[in-house]
């Protein structure tokens, strides 16, 4: 009887461990999303702040994708951000705005999309043309310092 | 003789390819130069016109607004600006409500900034067009970066997002001041007011225009914008 209890406890612990570490993810989850559940959008910013690959892309506070990479567009000296957006969000208007936000006061930076109302919609590999760059405290201070009073 | 020998078919072909590749670049540069001049001229014209109508601000406010509307009408794509501000709510608004918001927004701008505009003298500042970039993905859109330098030496960075209608001249559709996207700031305000009004677009537009009376000329200007697309 004692062996049976140990066996049951051991099985439950092993299952919990496998679930926590992701070995027993529900079938078709992230794998299926990677296979075709996303499309790509780009946005360019004058200042990408500390935005990193993997940062979330949100709409109304809900995660709808992630930042795939952040690169320098050497021709215009702007940060070019590639985003992977959930395929279900396939009706974003072309006048949507991509905004670099900070979670809390000193939290990580992420992209919030403010949806537009234009009848035309963005599709794979399109650019969100209207953006709001990251505003750092350092930049704001610097701007005040260089201005004569 | 040597010169003739160097002009082999391959040299000619390479030259032709380079010329082909360079042609769009040259066109883009000249388009950008034209836009630079257009923005510079219009900015000067606007300041001059504001100086001319300054006295109307105190004597005849309606006439002042009308004159301001005339001055800005061609240079600012108010219809597109207003649609951007409404954002996602533009889709749920009727065409009449969208027209009404264009009117309300224009008037609210004049109410808020008309006084400040007439207090500015063209000798108070200098305006420089720093760079012009036509969007490589959409040739009917461009970004124009300007610097406004006051007499006291303060320098403000301003960027115009511009749009060229099929049958018209370049127009401003958004302004970014010192990195702050003004269209987005107004969109945030619209969003806040939508939440306060429980999602009723009509209420928000009515309240936006609560202090707005009738103004002759706006109707015509809105109609003209509608025709411009």
Task: Spell out the domain ranges in chain A.
Answer: 1-35, 37-135
User: Which residue of chain B is at minimal alpha-carbon distance from A114?
Assistant: B87
Q: Which helix (H) or strand (E) holds B188?
A: helix B182-196
Lay out the sheet containing B141-150: strands in order across. Answer: B125-134, B141-150, B155-163, B171-177, B180-181
Pick from A142, A63, A143: nearest CA to A101: A63
Q: A138 by DSSP, 3-state: which? A: helix
Top-confidence residue, A137 or B135: B135
Q: Does the beta-carbon distance from B153 to A148 stay under 8 Å?
A: yes
Q: pTM score, two decimals? A: 0.73
pLDDT digits 0-9 by tens, A7-48: 565 655 555 544 444 344 333 333 334 456 999 999 999 999
Task: Spell out the domain ranges in chain B.
Answer: 2-228
| pLDDT under 70: residue ranges of chain B | 1-29, 122, 209-229
Residues written for chain B: 229
Q: Does the beta-carbon distance from A117 to B181 stay under 8 Å?
A: no
Q: B12 by DSSP, 3-state: which? A: helix
Under a CB-based contact definition with an 8 Å cutoff, are residues A118 and A91 in contact?
A: no
Q: Does the beta-carbon distance from A115 to B88 stay under 8 Å?
A: yes
In this prediction, residues A127-131 reach a mean pLDDT of 95
Mean pLDDT over the full length of chain B: 81
Q: Does the beta-carbon distance from B87 to A114 stay under 8 Å?
A: yes
Return d(Cα A87, Cα A90) in angstroms, integer. Answer: 6
A118 contacts chain B (CB < 8 A): yes
Q: What CATH number should be reported for the domain whose range is B2-228?
A: 3.10.450.710
DSSP B39-102: HHHHHHHHHHHHHHHTTHHHH-HHHHHHHHHHHHHTTB-HHHHHHHHHGGGGGTS-HHHHHHHH
pLDDT digits 0-9 by tens, A57-98: 999 999 999 999 999 988 888 999 999 999 999 899 999 999
Q: Which helix (H) or strand (E) holds B13?
A: helix B9-53
Instruction: Report residue B142 as tokens.
Output: 């461009």
């Amino acid at each position: 009887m004692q062996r049976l209890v140990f066996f049951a406890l051991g099985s439950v612990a092993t299952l919990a461990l496998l679930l926590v570490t992701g070995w027993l993810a529900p079938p078709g989850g992230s794998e299926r999303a990677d296979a075709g559940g996303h499309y790509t959008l780009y946005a360019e910013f004058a200042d990408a702040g500390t935005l990193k690959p993997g940062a979330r892309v949100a709409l109304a506070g809900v995660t709808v994708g992630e930042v795939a990479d952040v690169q320098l567009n050497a021709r215009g000296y702007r940060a070019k951000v590639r985003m992977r957006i959930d395929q279900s969000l396939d009706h974003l208007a072309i006048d949507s705005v991509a905004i670099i936000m900070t979670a809390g006061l000193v939290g990580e930076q992420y992209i919030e999309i403010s949806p537009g109302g234009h009848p035309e919609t963005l599709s794979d590999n399109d650019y969100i043309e209207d953006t709001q760059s990251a505003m750092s405290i350092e930049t704001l201070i610097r701007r005040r310092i260089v201005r004569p009073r | 003789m040597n010169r003739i020998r160097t002009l082999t078919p391959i040299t000619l072909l390479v030259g032709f390819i380079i010329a082909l590749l360079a042609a769009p670049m040259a066109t883009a540069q000249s388009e950008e130069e034209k836009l630079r001049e257009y923005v510079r001229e219009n900015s000067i014209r606007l300041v001059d016109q504001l100086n001319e109508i300054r006295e109307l601000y105190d004597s005849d406010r309606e006439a002042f607004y009308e004159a301001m509307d005339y001055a800005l009408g061609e240079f600012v794509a108010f219809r597109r600006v207003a649609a951007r501000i409404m954002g996602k709510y533009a889709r749920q608004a009727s065409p009449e409500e969208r027209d009404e918001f264009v009117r309300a927004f224009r008037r609210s701008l004049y109410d808020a900034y008309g006084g400040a505009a007439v207090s500015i003298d063209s000798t108070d500042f200098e305006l420089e067009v720093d760079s012009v970039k036509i969007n490589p993905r959409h040739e009917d859109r461009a970004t124009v970066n300007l610097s406004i330098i006051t007499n006291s030496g303060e320098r403000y960075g301003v960027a115009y997002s511009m749009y060229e209608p099929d049958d018209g001249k370049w127009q401003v559709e958004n302004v970014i001041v010192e990195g702050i996207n003004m269209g987005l700031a107004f969109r945030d305000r619209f969003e806040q007011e939508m939440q306060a009004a429980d999602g009723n677009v009509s209420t928000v537009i009515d309240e936006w225009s609560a202090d707005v009376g009738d103004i002759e000329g706006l109707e015509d200007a809105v109609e003209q914008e509608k025709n411009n697309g």
